[in-house]
Structure 1
Amino acid sequence: MNIQCGTAGWTDKTLIACKRFYPRGCSSAEARLRFYASLFPLVEVDSAYYGMPSATNSQLWAERTPAGFTFNFKAFRLFTGHQTSPDVLPKDIAMALGTPATTGKKNLYYRDLPAEIRDEMWRRYLEALEPLRQTQRLGAVLFQFAPWITSAPQDLAHVDECAARMAGYTMAVEFRNKSWLDESHAPSTLAFLRERQLAHVIVDAPPDVTNRVDTVWEVTHPQLSMVRLHGRNTETWNPGAGASAADRFNYDYSEAELGELAVSIRAIADRAAKTHVIFNNCFEDQGQRNALTLMGMLGSAVA
């Protein structure tokens, strides 16, 4: 079995502020990444969701990590159907689209972009990944689709377009709308992912909330299975205005919970060449501690 564990990011503000993960004096961007990569074989670049990644950063990350280290990237929010402020777009593209004063739109959606600008955004996104791809450090690109992206035909067509754009890359898909993986839709959704060789993301989240997909332990890509652990904090799952991701995913898995997860992870790990386990409970050092504990439980299964 080849199971790799890591966390969704390594520079979260609360992680740095708690001063429990990074050793004293480990304060530069380079030092933090090198230290993280000394403990884990995998990380998810969460910042690529909030803003377009850059080839410059990718090159630096390749130089600062050992051979065999893997970066998964979250797809930029515009591609996954989320509302996107013009402020986070490249300046020349934002200018070409016009200001909110001229367009009347505070936020943009993928459908708002002319075809030529969509093409350019995709080109730049993939260009930013290239240094990691060239050094064999690029893992999967994770598309965490917006909660309002349903299994309706027009949304299915959007997922299909993303798959076509990502041809030649490993694309992982995390749905957030229940319509994809409920009892009546799960078979067709999994078949859709298998036909396109898209990796289904198995989600662990609070069991007693309604605005989440069901946890379905299935593998749809021969090369990759993926598990993302969001914590089980029911009270903070639907945060109020101004709440951060750290607030929502503030949850410390118990050893008993991690032990149960380890059993399920082992069960799927022999159905794909690699299994990626990402802890997204990004509050202080919870994700890092939980990941290290799980790695110890999996023992020799971890590569």
Structure 2
Amino acid sequence: MIYVGVTGWGDHDSLYTAGVAAKDKLQEYGAHFPSVEVDASFYAIQPTRNVEKWVASTPDSFRFIVKAYQGMTGHQRGEIPFDSKELMFTAFKESLMPYENAGKLAMVLFQFPPWFECKKENVDYLRWCKEQMGDTKVALEFRNQSWFQPAYHDRTLTFMEEEGWIHSICDEPQAGTGSIPTVLHPTDPDNTLVRLHGRNIHGWTKSVTGKDWREVRYLYDYNKEELLGWKKNLEKLTSSSQNVFMLFNNNSGGHAAGNAKQMIDLLGLEYTGLAPKQLDLF
């Protein structure tokens, strides 16, 4: 099955009825897409009450991809707000329980930063992360090109297969060391993750003049030809992986939800079990 969705649910205003409260957006989101990426978990390990509410706000068939906390992936500089990394992982795993109990956790995404390069100590850390996560399904996304350089390309994929990592395949600008190519190679027979970040090469780095780079990094609107290219890619991926989760992250300009809808139409998908759509009567 192909699950199409977007990253986060708060900023996609085109999906929602006018004046909808922030607390009610996820419930409306579930009328459009069968899955979503939880970004809030990257910035802080979420309290159980939040996760329980999200689980209760979505249909039974809905699936969450939960982004790993930034202290677990090395994004957070300085001291972590835990006495040890072991305790940090324990707290994060406890926050996943409502998803798991409801059968709604698709996977946890470990997205590593551009400075996480292919070297022995980082390979060892990946093994340690996998051990800490136990039986929880985990996806791995790199942002440093060294992992897919010719000398390491095949070994990186074999490592993910042997260690049980789901490959997070990216579509992103090719801007040197801090970006990775699209590698259409599932590493898990059950699940594959695809994340589309846009192709705005000028906004991908921090060197954008006169603008906050975070506001333009994902500023991109995929055209029909590009989406048709991904339709072909999905045909290849689904031949090797039972489920493919495709998430659009190109939302600096609000394009993610629209592109996701276009993708669903191009694939001819009709999801059952979505939440009923709200009627905008006024």
Same fold at TM > 0.5:
yes
Provide the TM-score with structure 2 as the length reference. 0.90
Shift of 1:240: 4.8
CA distance in 1 between counterparts of 2:267 and 2:174 reads 24
CA distance in 2 between counterparts of 1:267 and 1:79 reads 32
The one-letter code sitting in structure 2 at the alignment partner of 1:29 is K
Q: Select the residue among 197, 201, 226 that pairs with 1:230.
A: 197
| 2:145 aligned partner | 178
Q: Structure 1's 244 and 50: CA in aligned 2 closer, same or farther, altered over 3 A?
A: farther
Unaligned runs of 5+ in 2: 273-282
- 1:3–1:302: 8 Å Cα contact kept in structure 2? no
| 2:120 aligned partner | 153
1:266 aligns with 2:257: no
Shift of 1:119: 1.8
1:10 aligns with 2:9: yes
1:26 aligns with 2:25: no
1:298 aligns with 2:243: no
Shift of 1:239: 2.8
Shift of 1:298: 1.0
| 1:213 aligned partner | 180
| 2:111 aligned partner | 144
Describe the SS at the equivalent of 1:139.
Answer: strand
Task: Please tell me the root mean square deviation across aligned C-alpha atoms, in Å.
Answer: 2.0
**Number of matched pairs:** 270
CA distance in 1 between counterparts of 2:36 and 2:233 reads 21
- 2:110–2:138: 8 Å Cα contact kept in structure 1? yes
Could you give the per-residue CA deviations for residues 167-220 of structure 1, whole angstroms, max 9, x where no partner exists? 211100001111101222110000000001111111101135442112110010
| 1:108 aligned partner | 79
Bigger helix share: 1
Describe the SS at the equivalent of 1:142.
Answer: strand
- 1:150–1:156: 8 Å Cα contact kept in structure 2? no
Could you give the per-residue CA deviations for residues 39-80 of structure 1, whole angstroms, max 9, x where no partner exists? 000100112111112211110011110001011011011111
Provide the TM-score with structure 1 as the length reference. 0.84
CA distance in 2 between counterparts of 1:210 and 1:179 reads 7
Shift of 1:284: 4.3
CA distance in 1 between counterparts of 2:124 and 2:202 reads 34
Instruction: Report the more deviating stretch, 62-71 or 238-247.
Output: 238-247
Q: Select the residue among 154, 159, 166 that pairs with 1:187.
A: 154
- 1:62–1:132: 8 Å Cα contact kept in structure 2? yes
Shift of 1:270: 2.1
Identity percentage of aligned residues:
31
Instruction: Report the more deviating stretch, 157-166 or 232-241.
Output: 232-241
- 1:6–1:43: 8 Å Cα contact kept in structure 2? yes
